Structure 1
């Protein structure tokens, strides 16, 4: 019954109660009939059926019955456990008898014919006249009851109560079996309900480190499974929320640290200019250039913070638009080439279009631009003068594969494991020198994930860095 529904279980319980109640009632009736058949229990008219034989015996013995010495003979015929009697003479006065209390008040009026007083049923009083020589010489008065009784009078009380119980037995059995099945059902319900109540109390107290262990296919089993799934998802959600909260704290701390350096530099140079008694044009230009660079550094950091905040929102979605991807990459390459030339680095873009159709593709160009900008700026940051940066684009009907390689210092083993983590800065001293915040590649990874794409970082044969991005085309 563990895996059946409560509806079927309820119907099964009701039918079981009714069937068992009927069965036990019939068994009780059968036992009663067998005991009656063997005269262990005497039927209600048993003593009434014996009275005619006693009457016949009295008729045969006539006046002998009036003799007190005949009492022993008469009591051999009369079953005293169920019949009381009195013998009165011709004047209606008591001669002898067997009774607990007087059956009638004497003197009693004699009757010519046998009569039965049924006025106080089930108690029956029968008057049997003794007629001799056509005269009423006396009378025998019998008292018996029309009710079931035991052959042994000591057990009459059992028979008396069993009759009442027999009438009520179907209802008694229904109550008993209902209590039994209700108790069993309560035990089955108690285990999952206790787990659910304890679980609800723990959730109320912000404790999610527990499990609901109740495996069943019924409604409660499904409820417990749903509750456990809710607890698990809630725990994941809260852990994610706590993690995000912790990351926010770390981000604020990291940003405060990253902003402190350019602010200190700007403040120091401004104070230097203020304290100068005479202005040297070269010095002023140099100071202003440093102030401008550090202001740009802070601006870029704030821009990355804004992008990161936007990406990490639960409602953030990519905005796809039709675009010419070849033209878009060429425009971006033109910008990157100018930046590379300023640093005396060679930049090269190679495009391989394997598509049969040169149709426009759906793409979030802003997100793709952020990915390329961060990857190329990373290569520019760590590639020395005279080095090379190469952007490879391979287009098929199904996907777009980007590969950015450089001749820079590449990645260490630690870098390849942590490079896409938030605030990871690799070589700390080098990162500080270059103004690196540790957010660029994290943003790239987050956006690639939004595209349902893949990103990998490794070193090429010459020791430089290689980053591969695969994005499915819509």
Structure 2
């Protein structure tokens, strides 16, 4: 398995070079193997070398001269054919007038050479040439006749049934390097092409699917080579593109939700304002109490719309990529005391008791660095949530615990608390919870989402639970930046 992974991880450049080297080595090996086999077959006499029959001619000539007085006799044919191997040599025996006595041939050959006392040789062709040779029969200087031989200078088989193979064995040995190079080039070329086609096909299919905005696929080619790295980069691009599109779709969906929620939130106060304005316009008599009551309702609903618009603006601002914290030095204890006075006034207006407890565990009251705008939004949202769900004569407690490393805020109330579903979903955008915590009280599901987002920006954490009195408790942990230590 390890070796297979190593092969897969070899670069295509190296694979190409290895393929070329393999073609060369295998071609040389098989060529040498073929040559050795060819030589062994020749040595064992299975294949007769090209000059085999030429080497027999001197012996045949000597035998003819020795038996010149018997050669023309037809009864001598069997003895002569023991010397002339008819497997590879055709022959004719003619008298001095050129008349055929006997022989072994496919086509007459006597006419190919002149009748003469001299030995003549005729060569036809250059590759595997045909040799026609006349051996004169001379007795007392008189020409009695001739023996005409016909054979080829080419390899042949001892068994004539395999001549068709043996005749081209020399040619094959010569051409075999080129044959093997072509065959192995085709083999390794197809193999290399197959390796290329797998990732290329995936890339082409991926490009086409991306073109039609289909990102639900995965490129599975994971080899550590050039195309493997390209496929990985392409897959990373697909994942990033998918995330980007999903975020874009999510943002578009959230925008639609915001528009829908804003429209829903503003519809009720606008309807109330419109109804009271129409009542004022249609009234013939405007007594002071009625006018005050109507104007007070109009003012409260205008505040409600204003608060909702402010929350949407804040949400848009903090979710923007350009949003950055703007830290400044702050005396946190004095800052919380000042905010507590504002919250106490708001609580009195709702006949709710507000309590602020500060526990500073530091050795000195040093300034800290924090974005006071963000801190104010966090506290305002927490206290306003508690005010919204705490009944008259209830109590809201803001606890601050401060040490050298972090600051802990907790807002504790005696309201209706969180349901189990609320505890699981309270930080989700536009989560409205139970009907008692929904829009008829001005709740749009953004308060704690904004708190969570801002606390995250400060590098802190936020937790929610129900307290011992059944009300809600939200605890915020924020790390401290001490300007003196950071300097």
Q: Scaled by the length of structure 1, what TM-score is found?
A: 0.88
Separation in 2, partners of 1:337, 1:124: 130
Indicate yes or no: 2:456 matched with 1:449: yes
Measure the CA separation in 1 of the matches of 2:397 and 2:222: 58
Do residues 19 (structure 1) and 25 (structure 2) align? yes
Q: What CA deviation, in whole Å up to 9, does each residue of 1:374-394 have, x standing for no partner?
A: 111112222334443332333
Deviations 1:227-281 (A, max 9, x none): 4444444444433333333333232222212111111111111111111112212
Tell me whether 1:380 sits opposite 2:356 in the alignment: no
Counterpart in 2 of 1:156?
A: 163
Cross-structure match for 2:4: none
Task: Give the counterpart of 2:11 among 5, 12, 28.
Answer: 5
The change in CA–CA distance for 1:254 and 1:19 in structure 2 (over 3 A counts) is same
Change (3 A) 1:362 1:24: farther
Structure 1 residues 156-181: Cα deviation after superposition (integer angstroms, max 9, x where no partner) = 22223443333322222222223333
Q: Do residues 440 (structure 1) and 447 (structure 2) align?
A: yes
Query: Do 1:92 and 1:108's aligned partners in 2 also have CA atoms closer than 8 Å?
Result: no
- Distance change in 2, residues 1:53/1:358 (3 Å): farther
Question: Structure 2: how far apart are the matches of 1:377 and 1:420?
Answer: 16
1:68 partnered with 2:74: yes
Q: Is the 2:155–2:169 contact (alpha carbons within 8 Å) kept by the matching residues of 1?
A: no
Find the counterpart in structure 2 of residue 167 from structure 1: 174
Q: Which moved more, 1:335-344 or 1:413-422?
A: 335-344
Assess if the C-alpha contact under 8 Å between 1:92 and 1:106 holds in 2: no
Cα RMSD, aligned residues only: 2.9
Structure 1 unpaired stretches of 5+: none
Q: How far has the Cα of 1:346 moved from its partner?
A: 3.7
Residue of structure 1 in register with 2:292 after alignment: 285
Distance (Å, rounded) in 2 between the aligned partners of 1:45 and 1:294: 120
Using the TM superposition, give the Cα deviation of residue 358 of structure 1 relative to its aligned residue in structure 2, in angstroms: 5.9
d(CA) in 2 for partners of 1:449, 1:106 = 110
- Corresponding residue number in structure 1 for 2:62: 56
Question: 1 CA distance for matches of 2:195 and 2:457?
Answer: 47
Q: Is the 8 A contact 2:199 2:227 kept in 1?
A: yes
Cα shift readout 1:409-454 (whole Å, capped 9, x = no counterpart): 3222232222222222334255444322221111111222233321
Q: 1:147 — aligned with what?
A: 154
Q: Does the alignment pair 1:249 with 2:251?
A: no
Note closer, same or farther for the CA distance 1:246–1:120 as it changes in structure 2 (3 Å cut): closer
What is the aligned length?
472
Q: Contact 1:318–1:367 at 8 Å: present in 2 too?
A: no
Query: How do 1:180-199 residues align onto structure 2 when only pairs under 5 Å count?
Result: 180-199=187-206
Q: Mind listing any 5+ residue stretches in structure 2 that lack a counterpart?
A: 1-6, 482-487
TM-score, structure 2 as length reference: 0.86
Distance 2:125 2:441 in 1: 121
Q: Distance in 2 between matches of 1:396 and 1:83?
A: 118
Provide Cα deviations, 1:351-386, integer angstroms capped at 9, x if missing partner.
Answer: 444456766544333222211111111122223344
- Higher mean displacement: 252-261 or 157-166: 157-166
Alpha-carbon distance between aligned partners in 1 of 2:26 and 2:266, rounded to the nearest angstrom? 83
1:399·1:470 contact (CA, 8 Å) conserved in 2?
Answer: yes
The C-alpha deviation readout for 1:197-251, integer Å capped at 9, x for no partner, is 4444444444444444445444444444444444444444433333333333232
